[in-house]
Structure 1
Amino acid sequence: MTRSIKQTKKKKTKGKTKGSKSGNGSASSVSDTPARVWRPGVDQLEEGEELQFDPSAYNYLRAFNIGWPCLSFDIIRDSLGLVRTDFPHTIYAVAGTQAEVATSNYIGIYKLSKISGKRRELVPSSIDNDSDADSDSSSDDEDDGALDESTQPVLQLHKVAHQGCVNRIRAMGQKPHICASWADTGVVQIWDFSTFLNALAESETDKSNGANNCRHHFPILKHSGHTNEGYAIDWSPVVPGRLATGDCDSFIHLWEPSSETWNVDGKPFSGHTSSVEDLQWSPTEADVFASCSVDGTIAIWDTRLGKSPAISIKAHNADVNVISWNRLASCMIASGCDDGTFSIRDLRLIKGDNSLVAHFEYHKHPITSIEWSPHEPSTLAVSSEDSQLTIWDLSLERDEEEEAEFKAKIKDQANAPEDLPPQLLFVHQGQKDLKELHWHQQIPGMLVSTAADSFNVLMPVNLENTLPPVSS
């Protein structure tokens, strides 16, 4: 597969959305300058110019917000189908706010429906002459789901008051109405949002975009046992209700479900020398989880072996901000660093100190989120403080013959820089201060990301054929 990145450089036009493109890359200004690829972090905009996304790069792209900026969110598994490929789509999610005043924070439980996009060709049809090209371009703009205001999705939102900023929030996979939130007050809370999710499911047309009313809904459990606030939190995909939480004082607590409540182990797991930034349970082993820390290490823990790491490795030369355990290839784990690099390791080789499979230095600012695709074991998405969301396919290798054939089809629009990593599949821009991204588990090719200015829902065109592996 050949990939390049497209950004169109134009004079500022009110109402246009910034974005990016993977597929056939070019960039132009209002003058008749040669088409070229926009290189994030390298090329500069002239005064009065801005980037405008190429709609043909997306099957769908929309921005929306829930009021205050959101640091963390989670997509909720629903009952609308395990694998959904046809528009229109509907998604459910929970999101926490970062309000200016602590008492103004809330958890938003929302439903985004009537997501109506269109499938596109990755390689455009051949163009005979310039007049035809202009005609095709105009037609695409007029009939594009990402531009046509009549295709706006419907956002329905319920707000639940939350004391303090929501550092991170996660929904339980087996019981999606049960959610856990980490607050900057140092408190972890477990919530039952079934009432709100049921109301959203029953409502088809009510549009409550950013409703003013904020409900006071009591959590199932409120735990203040951590000595500091934290960000690391994850539900076990193997044992329903099992939870782990890590704090900024380097400690990790295990939560075990018991009837309608949880027993939180008062003696924490200890082994990191600094803040635990992220953790994830093994997708296959009930008693194993991984964590990463400001101390630059990744630790693998086995709850049967005590409260110290089973394995600890020096993974990066700076803070390890995020990790992701591959659920389709459970031997692989990815980590994102404060220096902008991210790495992939094979856990089967971790004891031999040669577990590093790949290391990328494309991003130049801290990695804020990383997540393997739930539908393709070699694909993962990464977000960074450089305001880029990138998608990578580790199975890709440079194929000069294929690239030459691709360039011939799209003529002068394929002059991509030669130094782009061959595994870089897609670059999305336009959001400021990206914080977190998630793939939709039930809609192949769909990603949702949150940033200081908005959420984005995007479906890159070159991911449209991605489907889950078929089990025999």
Structure 2
Amino acid sequence: QLGEPSSSSAIPAKVWQPGVDALEDGEELQYDPTAYNYFHQFVSIGCPFLSFDVVRDHLGLVRSEFPHTLYGVAGTQTPKGTPNYVGIFMLSNMKGKMPRPDGECDMDGDSSSDDEEGTKDTMQLKKVAHAGSVNRIRSMTQKPHLCATWGETGHVQVWDYSSFLNSLSDSGMEDKVIHKLVPLKVFSGHKDEGFAIDWNPLVTGRLVSGDLTKCIHLWEPTSSNWNIDANPFVGHSKSVEDLQWSPTEADIFASSSADKTIAIWDIRTGKKPCIIMKAHNSDVNVISWNRLANNMIASGSDDGSVSVHDYRLIKGVGSLAAHFKYHKKAITSIEWSPFEASTLAVSSEDHQLTIWDLAVERDAEGEDEFESKMQDHVKAPEDLPPQLLFVHQGQKHWKEVHWHPQVPGMLVATGIDGLDVLMPSNVAATLAYLDGWARAKP
């Protein structure tokens, strides 16, 4: 029996700081269930997924009522001799806490402890063979059944997974067969493998892919396939790490690189970047273009720092709107919320997944009042940035995190042990100084 943070009979819990605190003999991490409207770890997925994407569905554009259903695609990185595959999956019967008008929450089924047959969270997985590890996978916004994969073999491929998505059900039955499928398109024009790939949100089928040899190729859709420009966009001095299309301008995209820069490109004006700026003091691993405040581009670096750049100021004195050095290791994924313009999710190699709200500012008077009300709860360290709203742990080596585009507040993340699906509670946003994880002795 682990002690609850608010329990007077339990040993007082302490906020856990990765990279700062160490576990003593007999100690173990314990998450605070009051900090979540929903949390479940799906571990029975076979090999670890390096990359995944949430697939848009027809169940509703904005969904708030439990139970929830989620569709996704994910790619594996298997040991040598074991076949890789793309997993097409459905998570269903995800039950959680429903907020009441008084601000409290009612439980609509606790999925993490509900073992009654037919009422617990279920996962159905279809496997489709893929040559080599899947470095990155992305589902097209306009046609979600079409997905692009970047493989360690150096090939970028486009697949039609519609038949597998349509065959998924909430039975939770495991499909152990690895199915064969012929891709719609295979591009072997990259000189090396890569990770950077993005579908254009405004032009159906338009795609960019970037590799470790600094080259970016443009895919233009035709009536039946794609024309891929063999003449690449070149402007970085090191590998292209990530790509993001502008959410409002169909011909503009951004790239990040191991050369510490972010570049802005216009496909109408040639193969050189329009703007290139130093963004970090180390490799810029990932970027995210804000679709609600389209002047903002967030970036995450190999040194653990996160920056937000104002696109309107790039040509001026400086574009930096915010900079955070909280994480202890490399940033592996970053993504703006599709529902809150100031909210950002970040994953890191320091085994933390964090949520930030850039609209929050420190208020000393408010903090004193808050702490007096929360004296029975866990007290977090004083040096945490006020914009840091939530910290989620429990897995090692987080690789990617994505917001669900149709379920406000739902996050999905992949790590070494499987997929985590979580929805921090509305209380968690208010209690900005309470960590989602504490430690206590059994």
Residue 338 of structure 2 is aligned to residue 374 of structure 1: yes
What code does the residue aligned with 2:205 have?
G
Q: What is the letter of the counterpart of residue 234 of structure 1?
A: D
Name the structure 2 match of 1:136. Answer: none
Pairing 1:22-33 to 2, within 5 Å after superposition: 26=5, 33=11
Is 1:67 paired with 2:35? no
Are 2:257 and 1:257 aligned? no
Deviations along 1:138-191, one digit per CA (max 9) or x if unpaired, are x99x97443333452111111110000000000000000100000000001000
Q: 2:271 is aligned with what amino acid?
A: K
Match of 2:172 among 207, 210, 213: 207
In structure 2, the CA distance between the partners of 1:302 and 1:160, relative to structure 1 (3 Å rule), is same
Q: Give the one of 181, 190, 195 matched to 1:231.
A: 195
- Residues 339-388 of structure 1 deviation map (CA, whole Å, 9 limit, x = unaligned): 00010000100011311000000001000000000000000000000000
The alpha carbon displacement at 1:456 in A equals: 0.2
Q: Alpha carbons of 1:124 and 1:348: their partners in 2 closer, same or farther (altered >3 Å)? A: closer
Match of 2:352 in 1: 388
Distance in 1, Cα, partners of 2:306 & 2:345: 11
Superposition RMSD in Å: 2.5
Q: 1:197 aligns with which of 165, 169, 181?
A: 165
Please give the alpha-carbon distance, in whole angstroms, between the structure 2 residues aligned to 1:272 and 1:306: 15
Conserved 8 A contact 1:117-1:146: no
Displacement of 1:40 after TM fit?
2.8
For the Cα contact (< 8 Å) 2:6–2:376, is it kept in 1?
no
Quote the Cα distance in structure 1 between the aligned partners of 2:144 and 2:227.
20
- 1:383–1:436 contact (8 Å) kept in structure 2: yes
Provide the secondary structure at the position in 2 that maps to 1:195.
helix
CA 1:148–1:399 in 2, change beyond 3 Å: closer, same or farther? farther
Structure 2 residue aligned with 1:451? 415
Partner SS for 2:179: coil
The C-alpha deviation readout for 1:296-347, integer Å capped at 9, x for no partner, is 0100000011000000001111110000000000000000000000100001
What secondary structure, in the 3-state scheme, does the structure 1 residue paired with 2:96 have? Answer: coil
**Alignment match, 1:49:** 27
Uncovered stretches (5+) of structure 2, i.e. residues with no partner: 431-442
- Bigger mean CA offset, 110-119 vs 421-430: 110-119
SS at match of 1:230: coil
In structure 1, the residue matched to 2:436 is none
User: Higher mean Cα deviation, 416-425 or 248-257?
Assistant: 416-425
Secondary structure of the corresponding residue to residue 51 of structure 1: strand
Taking the TM superposition and a 5 Å limit, the aligned residue runs for 1:338-377 are 338-377=302-341
- Alpha-carbon distance, 1:101 to partner: 2.8
2:193 and 2:6 map into 1 onto residues whose CA distance is: 45
Match of 1:149 in 2: 115
1:132 alignment counterpart: none
- Percent identical: 61
Partner of 2:74: 95
Whole-angstrom CA distance in 2 between matches of 1:451 and 1:36:
25
- TM-score normalised according to structure 1 size: 0.85
Aligned amino acid, residue 49 of structure 2: C
Counting matched residue pairs gives 426
**CA contact under 8 A between 2:240 and 2:257: conserved in structure 1?**
yes
Cα distance change on mapping 1:380 and 1:102 into 2, 3 Å:
farther
**C-alpha spacing 1:123/1:338, structure 2 compared with 1 (3 Å):** farther
CA 1:249–1:123 in 2, change beyond 3 Å: closer, same or farther? farther
1:186-208 CA-to-partner distances (Å, cap 9, x unmatched) read 001000111111112xx34x322
1:262-277 aligned at under 5 Å gives the runs 262-277=226-241
Counterpart of 1:324 in structure 2 is 288
Q: Is the 8 A contact 1:339 1:367 kept in 2?
A: yes
Query: Is the contact made by 2:344 and 2:356 (CA closer than 8 Å) also made in structure 1?
Result: yes
Change (3 A) 1:10 1:45: farther
CA distance in 1, matches of 2:400, 2:75: 12
Q: Residues 211-252 of structure 1, C-alpha deviation per residue, up to 9 Å, x if partnerless?
A: 210110100011111000000000000100000000000100
Residue type of the alignment partner of 1:62: H
Q: 1:161 aligns with which of 125, 129, 133?
A: 129
Partner secondary structure for residue 207 of structure 1: coil
Deviation at 1:403, TM superposition (A): 2.8
**What residue is the counterpart of 2:56 in the other structure?**
77
> Deviation digits for residues 427-471 of structure 1, max 9, x if unmatched?
0000111000000000000000001111100000138999xxxxx
Q: From the superposition, tell whether residues 52 and 39 of structure 1 become closer, same or farther in structure 2 (CA, over 3 Å).
A: same
Change beyond 3 A, Cα 1:465–1:339 = closer
Deviation of 1:73 (Å): 0.4
* Native 8 Å contact 2:390 2:429 kept in 1: no
CA distance in 1, matches of 2:226, 2:82: 27
CA-CA distance at 1:259 after TM superposition: 1.0
Q: Structure 1: 5+ residue runs without aligned partners?
A: 1-8, 12-24, 126-138, 467-472
Structure 1 residue 27, shift from structure 2 partner: 8.5
Counterpart secondary structure, 2:268: helix
- Counterpart secondary structure, 2:382: coil
Partner of 1:415: 379
| Cα separation, 2, equivalents of 1:353 and 1:455 | 42
Following superposition, the deviation at residue 34 of structure 1 comes to 4.0
Aligned residue among 141, 148, 152 for 1:173: 141
Change (3 A) 1:102 1:171: farther
Query: Which structure carries more helix by proportion?
Result: 1
Query: How far 1:103 moved relative to its partner?
Result: 5.6
For residues 419 and 348 of structure 2, the distance between their equivalents in structure 1, rounded to whole angstroms, comes to 15
Contact 1:369 1:382 in 2 (8 A): yes
Question: When the two structures are superposed, what TM-score results if normalisation uses the length of structure 2?
Answer: 0.91
Q: Which residue of structure 2 aligns with residue 461 of structure 1? A: 425
Change (3 A) 1:145 1:275: same
